[in-house]
Structure 1
Amino acid sequence: MLSSSSPPQPLQTGSSSFYTGFTRLCKGLAVILVLGHVLLQIFPSALPYVALIPSSTIPFAWNLITAGYIEQSLIGVAISTIGLLLFGKSLEPLWGSKEFLKFIIVVNLFTSVCVFVTAIALYYITRQESYLYTPFSGFHGVLSGFLVGIKQILPDQELSLFVLKIKAKWMPTLVTLISIATSFFITDSVSYLPTLLFGIYMSWIYLRYFQKRPETSLKGDPSDDFSFSSFFPEFLRPILDPITSLFHWVFCGRRSGSSAELRGRSLDASPLPGSDSIEAARRRERGARALEQRLAAEKLSAVGKVEGTSHQSAAENV
């Protein structure tokens, strides 16, 4: 077991356990992604009925839901499937299957709504019809949202990125910067960039203000380590902190708190001194403990397989 002072252990991405331990829910969702891509290749005329095309969203409102599970390219479905399985190994055991599925549904839906509204607004501003007829689809909005979840639970977890190692808390920011930078060189970036950016944003909104915490009756994560300004370098935070206050007023200012919420907050709706840091520390400790338990279980499983193979070989030799 991991003590309260032990840091999160790095993921063993180089071992055979990297390819095992996927949850049943993630496997099912991965099958949906693969089948959606296969059916789209067999029936390409079905694209307007399942992808988000702003000009036809009003009669085909279900596109706001289906678009997130339809990958138009082979590389897209490969990245989404692998990312879903790997992120699910870390997040689903901590959140629970119900909350994990709820996160995917909520982030996917509201990301699609934001993409639709943005496309309509850009059309009226620029009068470019491409914004109305571009088919938006893909699971990358939810994938980018998973990065926000990892940032919340395991911010100091080191992730291997080729030869580099970067802490999980900076992954959403890094992905955002890389996506924006590459959009200047990729002509069809409009088809993926809004979904990716809104996926990060809506995931933070949901986790920050609305996700139910199993250990308490409160919602969201008010800790300073998960504020809006925490996605940016230190020197920008004094500028961005007022924006964080605006977020708090929009999502919490007019919402009447329950008695449980009032017990954890002062009269001015601010968290009691130290409550944010304590809650964040508990969340990181719980995440690190669950991660170590999962890695230990995978290691025991691998050892058991090796011993079973050795015994079988010995029996054959006899």
Structure 2
Amino acid sequence: MMQEINRLLISQDMRVTAWTIVAFVVVYFLTIFIKNFYELFGFAPSKCWLDAFYLWTLVTGIFVSRNIIFLLVGLVALFIIGRTFEPLWGRYPFFRFIVVEGMAVNLGITIIISLLYLFGATSLIRSDFSGVGPLIFSSIVALKLHYPTRPVVSSIPALQWFTYNDLPFCLLILSIPFIFVEYLRFIFFDAFVSLFVAWGYLRFWQLEEEITPLPSIDVEANNNEAHVNLMDDFSFSSLFPSPIRPLLTMPASLIRKIEDWIHRRHRLQNAPATEIGVTNIETQLDGVANAPAAVPIIDTAQLDNPQTNQDEVPLLLPTNTSLSEPSLTSEFTSTSSEDFKLGLSLLNAQEQGLPSSSSDALLEN
């Protein structure tokens, strides 16, 4: 184990994993030799608002181990998680995953336990939830995203049907009995909250940075794995088995609407602004970019002053846009309403083949 840690310390691809393992070991010894260290940095819901206001424990709690057994379990889990995802995502996204997921899961646990406390379940508010549990269960959801068709136990042919796509929900079901064991209640809450928090993080944050799911680092397994569809194969209902998905129609449709709204906002924010010759335009006319030709709008200032610079670019409108629509006046804020109406009248007179005397009459009016 120590040789692997030394190798990771000089590895560019797994540096975050190595230093995270070192941080776990250092924090554990600090809890032994420094008095009240565990009280200051260990996580319990009551420390965030009831007994104290130690909000930093939402993050530091994932680095604090209760005893040597939990420390060893955490080190092995971190090594496996880091070896799987840090080369896949990169150093910064993996470090963000550790910090954001740990904080978000602990915050979710605090909210749920606090609500239970307000309704009379007072025994959970001071329970110890420190440990690497949020990262373990969150990484299982990430395995579902990137390796949905890979068997969990590939060495046993009889279990080839059990894939990572089914693993998160199965672990949630298996964690339910732990809620009746006082010392192990944190396992259920870690699994329950991590399932939904990790899905939200990966779905709305991690995947926004990935055009397509990243391929497997295992070349042989990658040949048999299908690409994940971002909208369907990792939807909210995909967290649950097929037989119970019809029961989730209403929440799943609501979450899908939220997904569509977020993606529309994301596309609008990243879309380049289109300049069509007018300043201070807040909205863009449909079809302007694909207009085949354009019609100049005549400015009365140019009619009064024939010496106007001919190099100035006239204001352009698409020919397939109806000039009689009143909504167009709100699009071109740099032209006054009177001049705009006058220009429309002159164009209509020219299109109808009226004599120039009619145009002069419009100018005089």
TM score, norm. by length of structure 1: 0.67
Distance (Å, rounded) in 2 between the aligned partners of 1:124 and 1:195: 21
Deviations 1:51-97 (A, max 9, x none): 22333314211111111111112222212211111122221222111
SS at structure 1 position matched to 2:92: helix
* Corresponding residue for residue 135 of structure 2: 142
In structure 1, the gaps of 5 or more residues are 1-16, 264-318
Deviations 1:105-133 (A, max 9, x none): 111111111111111111111252x2232
Higher relative contact order (CA 8 A, sep 6+): 1
* Corresponding residue for residue 193 of structure 2: 198
* Corresponding residue for residue 124 of structure 2: 131
Query: Which structure has the greater CA radius of gyration?
Result: 2
SS at structure 2 position matched to 1:258: helix
* Corresponding residue for residue 257 of structure 1: 266
In structure 2, the gaps of 5 or more residues are 214-227, 273-365
* Corresponding residue for residue 3 of structure 1: none
Q: Quickly say closer, same or farther: Cα 1:34–1:196, change in 2 above 3 A.
A: farther
1:144-293, aligned counterparts within 5 Å?
144-160=137-153, 166-184=162-180, 186-216=181-211, 222-250=230-258, 252-253=260-261, 256-259=265-268
What amino acid is the match of 1:90? T
Runs ≥4 in structure 1, deviation > 6 angstroms?
Answer: 260-263
Distance (Å, rounded) in 2 between the aligned partners of 1:94 and 1:196: 23
Deviation at 1:103, TM superposition (A): 1.3
* Corresponding residue for residue 279 of structure 2: none
What amino acid is the match of 1:50? F
Q: Quickly say closer, same or farther: Cα 1:252–1:111, change in 2 above 3 A.
A: farther
The answer to whether the Cα contact below 8 Å between 1:36 and 1:69 also exists between their aligned partners in 2 is yes
The answer to whether the Cα contact below 8 Å between 1:228 and 1:240 also exists between their aligned partners in 2 is no
- Of all paired residues, the percent bearing the same amino acid is 23
1:46 equivalenced with 2:37 (yes/no): yes
1:87 equivalenced with 2:93 (yes/no): no
Structure (1/2) with the larger helix percentage: 1
TM score, norm. by length of structure 2: 0.59
Distance (Å, rounded) in 2 between the aligned partners of 1:27 and 1:145: 19
Number of residue pairs the alignment of both structures matches? 243
SS at structure 1 position matched to 2:79: helix
The answer to whether the Cα contact below 8 Å between 1:53 and 1:133 also exists between their aligned partners in 2 is yes
What amino acid is the match of 1:216? I
